[in-house]
Amino acid sequence: MRKKIVAGNWKMNKTYEEALSLVSEIDHMVRDEVNGEVTVIVTPPFPYLQPVGKLVQGNSKMHLAAQNVSEHESGAFTGEVSAAMLQSVGTEYVLVGHSERRMYHHEDAQTLYKKMKMALAQGLKPIFCCGEPLEERDADRHFEFVGQQLHDSLSYLSNEEFDQVVVAYEPIWAIGTGRTASSQQAQEMHAYIREQLARLFDAEAAFNTSILYGGSCNPGNAQELFAQPDVDGGLIGGASLKSRDFVAIIKSF
Ligand code: 13P
């Protein structure tokens, strides 16, 4: 059965001290207040991966993710961080294809596919992000757009590789805008994504894949979103920077 997951993407926020306070607050609250089966993932900036990872390693509900991984294995790529490096400091998951990386760093489908392969080869679990810009939704092409993103970066993976993948649907118009997708919009896209995954892999793999919703998810809307049959949790930006809000979202299943 697929996992329920809430992942906090901290993006480029927090100093070292702030990051440690945030994660220790989350760790304490998760221990004290979260009873059910849920996988909680924190995604700090690179310099804090190891200390944040150390802090959460005694908490079986909490897991560590990186925000990015290089498509190259090693060598003369100044500023890049490889999958092997991430693995060696205890990283378990990695975001691939976040819309901010696609937009500001021109990461295309081929690059994302290479990142997926690198991550998987090192035993990291990719959280593959997809989602349409507003123009595509307004033109009623959002299903086609997301279907293409899935096809272009995932279809060349083997079934064994795909078993390790989490998918996150993040409509670009909902990210950081305060305008969340309605639970109905999220559900219909998640069901569509699952259908596409069944075509690319098989029905069982699609059924077992966690599909997270991201985009202005907060303590006020998480419960309704997570109640949808194909929404298996959330990828949280802004609200993951406040421990109380993040934990309230975790408790929304
Ligand atoms: P917000 O929750 O701030 O809209 O960000 C969503 C996101 O991009 C998570 O990866």
- The full set of domain ranges for the chain reads 4-250
What pLDDT was estimated at residue 1? 85
Catalytic residue among 63, 71, 98, 107: 98
What is the percentage of the chain residues whose pLDDT exceeds 70?
Answer: 100
What pLDDT was estimated at residue 100? 97
Beta bridge partners of 169: 130, 213
215: left (phi over 0), alpha (psi -120 to 50) or beta: left
**Residue 237 Cα, ligand 1 centroid: separation in angstroms?**
3
**Across residues 103-111, what is the average pLDDT?**
96
Q: Is 216 in the pocket of ligand 1 (CB under 6 A)?
A: yes
Beta bridge partners of 43: 9
Q: Is 175 in the pocket of ligand 1 (CB under 6 A)?
A: yes
Q: Is 131 in the pocket of ligand 1 (CB under 6 A)?
A: no
User: Which of 95, 166, 180, 217 gets mutated to test ligand 1 (max ligand atoms within 8 A of its CB)?
Assistant: 217
Average pLDDT, the chain: 97
What pLDDT was estimated at residue 126? 98
Options 1.10.1060.10, 1.10.260.40, 3.20.20.70, 3.40.50.2000; CATH of 4-250: 3.20.20.70
pLDDT tens, residue by residue, 40-80? 999 999 999 999 999 999 999 999 999 999 999 999 999 99
Burial code (b: 16+ CB inside 10 Å, e: under 16) for 175-213 equals beeeebbebebbbbbbebbbebbeebbeeebbeebbbbb
Go through the chain and tell me how many residues it has.
Answer: 253
**Residue 6 Cα, ligand 1 centroid: separation in angstroms?**
12
Query: How crowded is residue 15: how many other Cβ atoms within 10 Å of its Cβ?
Result: 11
Predicted confidence (pLDDT) at residue 144 exceeds the cutoff of 90? yes
DSSP state of 94: E
Query: Nearest Cα to 92, choosing from 37, 52, 152?
Result: 52
What is the percentage of the chain residues whose pLDDT exceeds 90?
Answer: 98
pLDDT tens, residue by residue, 10-21? 999 999 999 999
**Across residues 234-251, what is the average pLDDT?**
98
**Across residues 211-238, what is the average pLDDT?**
98
Q: Is 179 in the pocket of ligand 1 (CB under 6 A)?
A: no
Question: Does 98 qualify as catalytic in the annotation?
Answer: yes
Tokens of 21: 């306070």
Question: Does 170 qualify as catalytic in the annotation?
Answer: yes
Task: Please check whether residue 213 is in contact with residue 225, taking contact to mean a CB–CB distance below 8 angstroms.
Answer: yes
Containing 22, the helix (H) or strand (E) segment is: helix 16-33
Taking each helix axis as running N to C, give the angle between helix 142-154 and helix 183-200, from 0 to 180 degrees, rounded to the nearest 10.
Answer: 40
Q: Is 238 in the pocket of ligand 1 (CB under 6 A)?
A: yes
Catalytic residue among 107, 132, 136, 170: 170
Predicted confidence (pLDDT) at residue 178 exceeds the cutoff of 90? no
What pLDDT was estimated at residue 198? 98
pLDDT tens, residue by residue, 74-106? 999 999 999 999 999 999 999 999 999 999 999
